Structure 1
């Protein structure tokens, strides 16, 4: 994306479900206003999370604003946090794009008396946010390893993990869970993880390179939406769709279509709408001086072509 576009999104709000410009829902110091800062704009996972956030905040009587960076990048998210700080809403729900680099900006929110709830991702420093609501990502990685082992059956071969970017708490936990669980299957040789910078084209090229170095590749675990879509492209280009079992993470419309078509063999789906709703509940509790749950984990489910329609409530949305 061009630098002009990146700067534009860093300065203005991006609301995938119809939100307006920054400050359109309340003035400075508005305690009855909540802001959601997702990890990236226009991604179905975060759109679905936003839908849950908007619904719950409206029911609780809060006005909302949603602002997101154009890429999952702390240098783009930090200026958004600074802009939100100037208007001082009652609470901010944020998916930090880096568990260390975003600590300073987010701490400024908390120091100003704004209640901070982490949604999806979290900071390494656990003293800043009042609550963290996310999937049990390590469990998700373990579920991916078990699902992949079931798909491979009695066969043998190499398996690869495609991660996004080091320092992303969610995907790092998924990779760690997978790596630990896959040790239980001696027929699967783990060849490690590779980072894609959250770019589908890099995921595709990493798959191609791994196939060349490991012709016995039988499985790939892609730790998020973009790596999953890129991995599917890489396997398709190499003519190995279906021959190499691809387990993705998340259930975007594109990934669901790939699962139905056989380009992906399984998806580990989260429940982002519930993450958004629960984040609002914890923020309201903090604002009202009630008990807050410091860590809340939401469910995941493994989807295959055989059972996907029975679990369609886990499919992510493109708009609210």
Structure 2
């Protein structure tokens, strides 16, 4: 037996004797299944979360994990909560979750932690930072600032009013995007801020609120939609009002429909994330946490501004893996 082999064997025996963090394939601390990971996205059938799932599945397969993915039909804490409590029964080694409310989901997710399950937040986060071992997300405030900067470049010296369409109050990511946009917009006195309106993450509400603001603000020059559904709805609202191309629409995310609208001129810019990277990074962090290793508490992935003249296909979201 070589010296290196003997050392490795001694280390493994010591880990077993001490009951250390479970290795993949063994039962983790607290009776959890260290071979199993669960992803709970914010909502089902949305290209951002599908792309995240693709990155999650690929990374988990490469590391030998069994996986499960369960998502609520809507971005709603009352629908996500029973999924979280249902996962408790199987006690996976770790759960990657996009909390649908930064406060309402704290109680259910804390139950995972109390059961010995490692929690990694992906995309969204809880206000209580003591529950998850790590959070992987885009720098959403920076994304909002990038949206304001991009809008300012598009309009140049023209003056006009600007609307922010947001999803639901209490959604950590979109709250941060709106804040970054609002802060950056103050640097451009030619752009008058009309405020933020919430759409309940429903495209039809985003469409109707866009047309409503247009009616009261005929000088509307820009709309910043903070997520995929609000962006698609805002595009519909501008189309219905005959204002496509006249009002600059800055969307967040890069779903197939949004990319199509960007190419056709319905949308003037998209702030694209890297959801597959969020999913794969979440797996890496979960694996380290299960094995008892140190993990970074905050990990941020990149954002880019896409325009018709600067398309980057690697950032286009998927509809299936």
The normalised TM-score by structure 1 is 0.90
Residue-by-residue CA offset, 1:233-267 (whole Å, 9 max, x unaligned): 00000000000000000000000000001000000
Which of 265, 270, 274 is residue 271 of structure 1 equivalent to? 274
Counterpart in 2 of 1:5? none
Q: 1:167 aligns with which of 141, 165, 170?
A: 170
2:144 aligned with 1:135, yes or no?
no
Paired residue for 1:317? Answer: 318
Give distance in 1, aligned partners of 2:154 and 2:224.
12
Kindly indicate whether residue 41 of structure 2 is the aligned counterpart of residue 38 of structure 1. Answer: yes
2:197 counterpart of 1:194: yes
Tell me the residue number matched to 2:306: 303
Distance 2:120 2:32 in 1: 18
3-state SS of the aligned residue for 1:263?
A: coil
> Cα distance, 1:34 vs. partner?
0.1
| Aligned 1:195-234 pairs, distance under 5 A | 195-234=198-237
Residues 249-264 of structure 1 aligned to structure 2 (within 5 Å) = 249-264=252-267
In 2, Cα distance between equivalents of 1:110 and 1:233 = 42
SS at match of 1:305: coil
Highest CA radius of gyration, 1 or 2?
A: 2
What runs of 5+ residues in structure 2 fail to find an aligned partner? Answer: 1-26
Contact 2:32 2:116 in 1 (8 A): no
The secondary structure found in structure 1 opposite 2:164 is strand
Partner Cα distance (1:34, 1:286) in 2: 12
Q: How far apart are the structure 1 equivalents of 2:120 and 2:33?
A: 17
Q: Deviations over 1:153-187 (max 9, x none)?
A: 11000000000000000000000000000000000
* Equivalence for 1:238: 241
Q: In structure 1, what is the equivalent of residue 152 of structure 2?
A: 149
**Conserved 8 A contact 2:135-2:297:** yes
- Counterpart in the other structure of 1:51: 54
1:176 aligns with 2:179: yes
Please give the secondary structure, in 1, of the residue aligned with 2:33: coil
- What is the alpha-carbon root mean square deviation over aligned residues? 1.2
Paired position in structure 2 for 1:291: 294
Q: Distance in 2 between matches of 1:129 and 1:187?
A: 42
Q: CA deviation at 1:31?
A: 1.8
**What does residue 110 of structure 1 align with?**
113
Structure 2 equivalent of residue 64 of structure 1: 67
The alpha-carbon deviation at position 30 of structure 1 amounts to 2.2
State the 1:285 CA deviation.
0.6
Alignment gaps of 5+ in structure 1: 1-26
SS in 2 for 1:32: strand
User: After superposition, what is the alpha-carbon deviation per residue over 1:45-94, rounded to whole angstroms, capped at 9, x for unaligned?
Assistant: 00000000001111111110000000000000000000001110000000
Moved over 6 A (4+): none
Query: How much has 1:29 moved relative to structure 2?
Result: 4.0
Query: Aligned residues, how many?
Result: 293
